Structure formats: structure tokens, C-alpha cells
Amino acid sequence: MPPPLPHQRRKTERPDELLEAALALFVERGFAATRMDDVAQRAGVSKGTVYLYWSSKEDLLRTVIQRFLGGHLDRGEELVGRHEGTTVDLLRHRYVEWWSAVLDSPASGVFKLMLAEARNFPDVAQYYQREVVERGRGMVLRMLEDGVARGEFRPVDLEQAAFSLLMPMVMLCVHRHALDLCWPAEQSQAMVSGHVELLLHGLLAGDDAPSKITGPAARTANGA
């Protein structure tokens, strides 16, 4: 079969080009300040072309979230599901690699975007909560629950532990796009790795682990 003609190939690739243009503009200018015309111009197409794929700017943003962060979450969930080693190894290596890939990709800009725009666009915020926040939280909770079940981790408050693993990573992504000079790109994996290592020392079971857990952690440990 002969290769597709240039115009045919471009038509096939056009949605991805539009999504890349939309994400770049949303992060640079803000969602409210970006028009569909701007997205079309950045992608080198007519405004009408954008509306062939998305009926509104909110619909376009939901697709941006799914295309860029949803793909990373798909890979993360698959990684956790097929991992056969220890949970410590999963966190120390695979989780660090996964977050480093998110941080170094355009997807990291979505976190800054949603932090700035969520209150102004509640429908999109709900979509982001369901498709990104809850999925990411569930993925990390599964790792922590496996670690406790295997006796690798102390029975800490897992909800708080998941929050502690996730939120600094999210804020690192925000800083990448807001205060890049403060967080050199070449140090991204070292920063992710250092944070996970710090948390691991609080999670690991051992002779010096507390014999009794009190407060909110007690309810989690006792299955309440």
C-alpha cells in the first residue's frame, strides 16, 4: 500500500497538533484568556477546524487533560499492576521514573493550569478530580496497601501517606511552569528520588517501629 499523501497524513495528525497547541497556550496565558482562535492560529489551521473536533473550549480542555495526564495514569496503573518485586523497589525506582517522566513532559503543565482555573470552571474541575486526582490517589494507595500487607511498611495512616507522596510531586510540576529558575530541570529526578527516599524512611517497618498507633492512623490500621 502506498504511503498517505502529505495532506492526508496531516489531517490524521491534526487533533494531536491542536491539543499540543491548546495545552501550550492554556499554560502560557491561562484558560480564560485563551480563545479557540488562538489555538487554531498556533496550530496553523482555521478556527472552524477546531470546532470540527470540540464543541466548546471546556470540551477541549477535558480532552487535553485526558490526552496528556490520562495517558501517564494509564501507564502508571499498568506499571503497578504488573510489578512483581517489592513495594520498596516499586516506589524507589518505578514510581520515581514515572513521576520524572510526568515532570519532564508537557503534561506537567496541566497541574499549574488546574490550580489556577479550577474554581472558575467547576465542571472541568470535577472532571479533573475524577479522572486525575482520584485515579492518582488510587494508584498510590494500592502501592501503600500492598506494602503494609507484605509487612514492608508500618500500618500508618495510608490516606495521609498517599497525600504526602503525591502533593509535593504536583507542586514540583507547578513550580516547573511557574518558577522554573528555582527548580532546574536537570535536577528533577534527583528531587523526586530524594522525596520518595525521605518518605520511605517513615514507612519502612523495623525493630524501632512504634508498637501502638494512635490518632487518625489508628482508625486506618484497624480498618475503621
> Got the DSSP string for 121-136?
-HHHHHHHIIIIIHHH
pLDDT value, residue 219: 41
Distance from C-alpha of 39 to C-alpha of 50, rounded to nearest angstrom = 8
pLDDT value, residue 8: 44
pLDDT at residue 106 above 50? Answer: yes
Based on the domain organization, do 4 and 83 belong to the same domain?
Answer: no
User: pLDDT band at residue 18, thresholds of 50, 70 and 90?
Assistant: very high
Distance in angstroms between the alpha carbons of the first and the last residue of the chain: 62
pLDDT at residue 105 above 70? Answer: yes
Q: What is the pTM of this model?
A: 0.78
- The three cell numbers of residue 39 are 489555538
Q: Grid cell 510526568 — which residue?
A: 102
Q: What Rg value do the Cα atoms of the chain yield, rounded?
A: 21
Number of domain units in the chain: 2
Q: Is the dihedral of CA 160, 161, 162, 168 positive or negative?
A: positive
pLDDT at residue 35 above 60? Answer: yes
CATH number of the domain encompassing residue 23:
1.10.10.60
Phi, psi of 204 (to 5 degrees): -60, 135
Average pLDDT over the chain reads 83
Pick the last residue of a domain from 55, 79, 99: 55
pLDDT value, residue 1: 47
CATH number of the domain encompassing residue 189:
1.10.357.10
Q: Which domain holds residue 36?
A: 1-55
Q: Are 166 and 135 spatial neighbours (Cβ–Cβ below 8 Å)?
A: no
- Give a yes or no: residue 61 inside a domain: no
User: pLDDT band at residue 156, thresholds of 50, 70 and 90?
Assistant: confident
Distance from C-alpha of 178 to C-alpha of 172, rounded to nearest angstrom = 10
- Give a yes or no: residue 60 inside a domain: no
- Give a yes or no: residue 25 inside a domain: yes
Q: What percent of the chain has pLDDT over 70?
A: 82
Least confident of 146-160, 179-193, 203-217: 203-217
Distances (CA, A) of 133 to 109, 137, 142: 15, 6, 14
User: pLDDT band at residue 77, thresholds of 50, 70 and 90?
Assistant: very high
pLDDT at residue 220 above 50? Answer: no
Distance from C-alpha of 170 to C-alpha of 168, rounded to nearest angstrom = 5
User: pLDDT band at residue 208, thresholds of 50, 70 and 90?
Assistant: very low
- H or E stretch covering 12: helix 6-29
- Give a yes or no: residue 183 inside a domain: yes
Based on the domain organization, do 116 and 201 belong to the same domain?
Answer: yes
